[in-house]
Structure 1
Amino acid sequence: MPTLKRRMEDIEENVETKSNSLIQSTVIKTIDHVGYMANITNLDLSNKKLSSLDDNVELPPNIVDLRLSHNDLTEVPPKVLELDKLKNLDLSFNIIVFFDDTPGFCHTIERLNLSNNRLEGLPFWVWAEKPEKLGYLNLSNNNNICNSINGYIDQVIQYKNLVKEIDVHNCNLGKYIQLMATFCHAKTVTIGCEEYNYLNVNYLDQFPCAGLEECLEVEKMNLSNTQLYHINSNIDIYQNIVEINLAQNKINSLPNEFCNLKNLQTCWLSCNKLLYLPDDINKLTKLERLYLNDNVLCMLPHTLHELTSLKVLDVYNNNLCEGLDNINNLEELDFAQNYFEEPDDEEYMRKKEKLRVKCISRIDGRKIEEVREDSEHSDDFRDDEDEELYALTEECANQDAPDAQCSSPEDWDSDDHWIPQYYKAVTPPRSPWLIFVKRKMAEGNFCPMDAHPASIADIVQYEKFINPPTVQEIEGQFDDYSDDDS
């Protein structure tokens, strides 16, 4: 019996010991879990096909960086709105429609990415609450974000937020470009991008324009693919600008005031319709990179070589007839596809190869001049009835053309006596029809009615006006036999 009793006591002692050990282990794990959650500051839930966050899900209370991009969220989860220490929130590539509720992280958030959603209105709390630390805001690729602007655009533009970097490309701003006046403290403004979306592009037409004229602190501005065709003379209001992208537009000229951007270092003017550059381009003393490829430039300003700070020059695919004499200060250069032969020295080839690292599908050599093919109405296919008119045209051209200045062999080296023929202004020939009419009139057997002081048609109309035809009244013509009741 004592032995059995002792065994029972030993069993009870062992059970109690194991129970205490299990309870202690559970408490320790719970404490460790709470401590583990408290130490989490970064959480990445991207590409999880999330449509919402369950109410039972607990997010780390001290989280600072939260990524929820590439999901199926239709709204900002309430659990996210409760976070009060969040600094970076990425909600891009979802299907969020509204973000009107003021979050708990309103005055701690520094970067907010809402791009590529289905926003039908602005996150108004960004303007109303004026977040103190919000420096980066991305609203790009939201097709319908202007739906709510139409009703209270005048109210919204009264607010001035503190955002330093704003991206609103492909938002179909158009007539609502005045919204940009609220970003008067922005240092980086992105309104266009190289990824062209013609349905949602921000059409500007001209620059600077209302709204953007308030962004005087901007240092970097991207206006590519915004259908710009005119640069206004007040472009020099951006005295702090360092980098400007005007590529892929319809600009055909730049005002001289463009050369007053004294801090400009990088300038993209690719894929436009530029015919020439301002002569005062040498005022851009800090310009380091100039991209002019795919334009229609026929000449470069003679002052371009004075830009000693210029390191990159891209004039690929233009209509230039000559390049630059001095390219020693340039580190990257491309002269291909113009109307002159490219240099073939090793230094130029090395500089061209360095520039083309990021430019694919370019070809070398000289541009082939386009020659129009002969049509059925060309000189080789003239009919007999056109011979006289053609002869008159040749006669007119010979009469109106100035006497060609002939140069003797001994004068070829003299600039004072020999002037190449193509430098002379050519007077356009007169109309062959007018020559034909004047010749017939001089012969006295042809008199067109347009040669009279007043045309024959006007004279006939005037005669009818002063001598109207007499109307004769016929008996019974105006008799009225109807009664009052009819």
Structure 2
Amino acid sequence: MEPMNSNDPVQNKKSLTNGFTKEINTDALTWPEKITTIDLSNKNLVTIDASVKFPPNLIELNLSHNRLTEIPRVVLNLNKLKSLDVSYNSIKYFDETPNFCHSIEMLNLANNKLAGPPYWVWAEDCQKLTHLDLSFNLDITESFNDGYFEELLQYKTHVIHLKINNCRLTHHLELYSTFPKAKVLEIGSEKLSHLCVNRVMEVPCKGLDNCCDLESLNLSNTHLYNIATNIDIFTSLVELNLSQNHLSGLPIEFCNLHNLKKCTLSFNQILYLPDAIGNLKNLLMLHMDSNELCTLPDSIKELKNLEVFDVYNNCLYEVPEEMKQIAEVDFAQNYFDEPEDTEYSMKKEKLRLNIEGRFDGRKIEVIPQESDHSPDTTDDEELLQYLNNTTSSKETVHINPPSSPEDWDSDDYWVPRFCGTTSRPPHASWIDFVKRKMEEGSFCPMDAHAVSIAEQVKYEKMCKPKIVHEVVGQFDDLSDDNS
């Protein structure tokens, strides 16, 4: 059974009237006994009266987009329910085992206020539960203390399709190990709030390495920095989304994912592709837009089944002629001119059909300015050379005032004088900083210390006070006769 799409705006608003929803009286709800599907979404329900009698053969119930704070008792008593959608409510706990725990196949708890995942899903061995949606429950790890999390790790679920994105999972990634049969796993999402994303620094992470049967993996927006060399444990992987992360490259083992058909690596900082990228013979779609690619390996020509090739907004200077023959391509915003033929324009428009905010044309190349530092000399040599030059070329006018006591009373001694120095030649800012600090007598500013130097000196004086000898006269000799 395919799960209902709770993000469909048409489905979400189909029970609304002029933008307002009236609360219905659940006491008067009655249905014929043959009814198997009931939709009570968008009814402003706070609870369902215990006197309500659902049809005995009810298998699908939709209570999404209401104001429920708990699962109503009358719902927990249903015996044959296969699909339950209670998304977009305010449910905090769902630990009580329902009567339908061994018949349920699809459970949607997305966008609630769960303080922990439903315990019975793990403890009751729900063999028919294959689709589970826990996404957008920001406090789902609140109950992971006092051994509760460790107890969950002892169980293995039968879930095949799991959505658990945007739950602020960071320190409890081992929870993924309880889904060893998962084939579709959505840990990340392209639609998110940055305050609630899951954080997976490396893939495969601890816990995820037990999900070796994955066919679809979404790690978009999960602060991913690295792809480990054991990425090829996902031998069955068909679809992979690692977009909007911090990746800078792909390991050679990435090219061992021979069943991969759709690969999305958009919005990263990837500089290169492995030379063995041509081993991905089954690849149909490759999205590499908004990266930092400056060249493509020759083996990319071997991707004969490729139908979509997106390298928009990179740093490429050319693409192989073979890549221009692909059905859908976008070469705009690179360091070369786009093809001007009509065929390419049609391919580009087809790829951009559901994408907004893209520009045509060639990217303006920014040439970095040359550094003031010469590559032929080291920093120490340049500093020494500068100091020698400034010392030898410095011409300071020394006007020594009279030193005899008789001249101190003269009028000329107290006349203000200007002692000028020759202007310094232009030099790098770091040399100026070092020179200035040398003149001040310190390379390290006082503000750089956690405790100021003045306080340290004061503390040392208190610990080691200076010994003061008491004397009677100015020239009294305190030495021994034997000294």
TM-score normalized by the length of structure 1: 0.72
Partner residue of 1:193?
189
Higher helix share: 1
Listed as ranges, the matches of 1:463-482 within 5 Å are none
The alpha carbon displacement at 1:328 in A equals 5.7
Query: Within 1, Cα distance between the matches of 2:382 and 2:79?
Result: 87
Query: Within 1, Cα distance between the matches of 2:382 and 2:310?
Result: 49
Structure 1, residues 310-339: CA drift from partner, whole Å, max 9, x if none? 111000000111112113651100000000
2:141 aligned counterpart, secondary structure: helix
Q: Which amino acid aligns with 1:210?
A: K
Q: 1:438 to 1:367 in 2, by over 3 A?
A: closer
The alpha carbon displacement at 1:431 in A equals 4.3
Residue number among 358, 362, 381 corresponding to 1:434 in the alignment: 381
The alpha carbon displacement at 1:360 in A equals 1.2
The alpha carbon displacement at 1:348 in A equals 1.3
Query: Within 2, Cα distance between the matches of 1:440 and 1:66?
Result: 83
Asked whether 1:313 is paired with 2:313, we answer no
Query: Within 2, Cα distance between the matches of 1:69 and 1:434?
Result: 72
Structure 1, residues 245-266: CA drift from partner, whole Å, max 9, x if none? 0000010111111011111110
The alpha carbon displacement at 1:105 in A equals 0.7
Q: 1:445 to 1:155 in 2, by over 3 A?
A: same
Q: Which amino acid aligns with 1:148?
A: S
Residue number among 226, 251, 257 corresponding to 1:261 in the alignment: 257
The alpha carbon displacement at 1:445 in A equals 6.7
Query: Within 1, Cα distance between the matches of 2:196 and 2:202?
Result: 18
2:33 aligned counterpart, secondary structure: helix
Q: 1:121 to 1:344 in 2, by over 3 A?
A: same
Partner residue of 2:427?
none
The alpha carbon displacement at 1:434 in A equals 2.0
2:348 aligned counterpart, secondary structure: helix
Listed as ranges, the matches of 1:20-169 within 5 Å are 37-151=32-146, 152-169=148-165
Q: Which amino acid aligns with 1:189?
A: L
Q: Which amino acid aligns with 1:268?
A: T
Q: Which amino acid aligns with 1:46?
A: S
Q: Which amino acid aligns with 1:434?
A: E
1:127 and 1:161 in contact (8 A); partners too: yes
The alpha carbon displacement at 1:205 in A equals 1.1
Residue number among 182, 196, 207 corresponding to 2:178 in the alignment: 182
The alpha carbon displacement at 1:368 in A equals 1.3
1:218 aligned counterpart, secondary structure: coil
- The structure whose Rg is larger is 1
Q: Which amino acid aligns with 1:215?
A: C
Query: Within 1, Cα distance between the matches of 2:206 and 2:107?
Result: 26
Q: 1:341 to 1:328 in 2, by over 3 A?
A: closer
Query: Within 2, Cα distance between the matches of 1:440 and 1:125?
Result: 76
Q: Which amino acid aligns with 1:57?
A: V
Listed as ranges, the matches of 1:337-416 within 5 Å are 337-370=333-366
Query: Within 2, Cα distance between the matches of 1:258 and 1:371?
Result: 33
Residue number among 166, 171, 183 corresponding to 2:167 in the alignment: 171
The alpha carbon displacement at 1:59 in A equals 1.1
The alpha carbon displacement at 1:150 in A equals 2.9
2:83 and 2:107 in contact (8 A); partners too: yes
Q: Which amino acid aligns with 2:183?
A: K
The alpha carbon displacement at 1:196 in A equals 2.4
Q: 1:276 to 1:55 in 2, by over 3 A?
A: same
Residue number among 282, 288, 306 corresponding to 1:286 in the alignment: 282
Q: Which amino acid aligns with 1:330?
A: I
Residue number among 289, 293, 297 corresponding to 1:301 in the alignment: 297
Q: Which amino acid aligns with 1:140?
A: S
2:287 and 2:309 in contact (8 A); partners too: yes
Give the count of matched residue pairs. 373
Query: Within 2, Cα distance between the matches of 1:214 and 1:321?
Result: 41
Query: Within 2, Cα distance between the matches of 1:100 and 1:210?
Result: 26
Q: 1:472 to 1:82 in 2, by over 3 A?
A: closer
Asked whether 1:246 is paired with 2:242, we answer yes
Q: 1:53 to 1:441 in 2, by over 3 A?
A: closer
Query: Within 1, Cα distance between the matches of 2:116 and 2:83?
Result: 21
The alpha carbon displacement at 1:149 in A equals 1.8
The alpha carbon displacement at 1:370 in A equals 2.9
The alpha carbon displacement at 1:475 in A equals 7.6
Residue number among 221, 227, 231 corresponding to 1:225 in the alignment: 221
1:96 and 1:117 in contact (8 A); partners too: yes
Query: Within 1, Cα distance between the matches of 2:35 and 2:263?
Result: 43
The alpha carbon displacement at 1:435 in A equals 4.9
Q: Which amino acid aligns with 1:115?
A: A
1:122 and 1:149 in contact (8 A); partners too: no
Structure 1, residues 38-66: CA drift from partner, whole Å, max 9, x if none? 20000000000000011221111110110
1:251 and 1:272 in contact (8 A); partners too: yes
2:64 aligned counterpart, secondary structure: coil
Partner residue of 1:322?
318
Q: 1:179 to 1:473 in 2, by over 3 A?
A: same
Q: 1:472 to 1:77 in 2, by over 3 A?
A: closer
The alpha carbon displacement at 1:154 in A equals 1.4
Query: Within 1, Cα distance between the matches of 2:201 and 2:386?
Result: 51
Query: Within 1, Cα distance between the matches of 2:388 and 2:99?
Result: 92
Aligned-pair identity (%): 47
Q: 1:219 to 1:445 in 2, by over 3 A?
A: same
Partner residue of 1:449?
none
Query: Within 2, Cα distance between the matches of 1:252 and 1:436?
Result: 36
The alpha carbon displacement at 1:37 in A equals 2.0
Q: Which runs of 5+ in 1 are unaligned?
A: 1-34, 380-389, 398-427, 447-456, 458-470, 477-486
Structure 1, residues 277-299: CA drift from partner, whole Å, max 9, x if none? 11110111111100000011111
1:38 aligned counterpart, secondary structure: coil
Query: Within 1, Cα distance between the matches of 2:284 and 2:134?
Result: 31
2:31 and 2:54 in contact (8 A); partners too: no
1:138 and 1:168 in contact (8 A); partners too: yes
TM-score normalized by the length of structure 2: 0.73
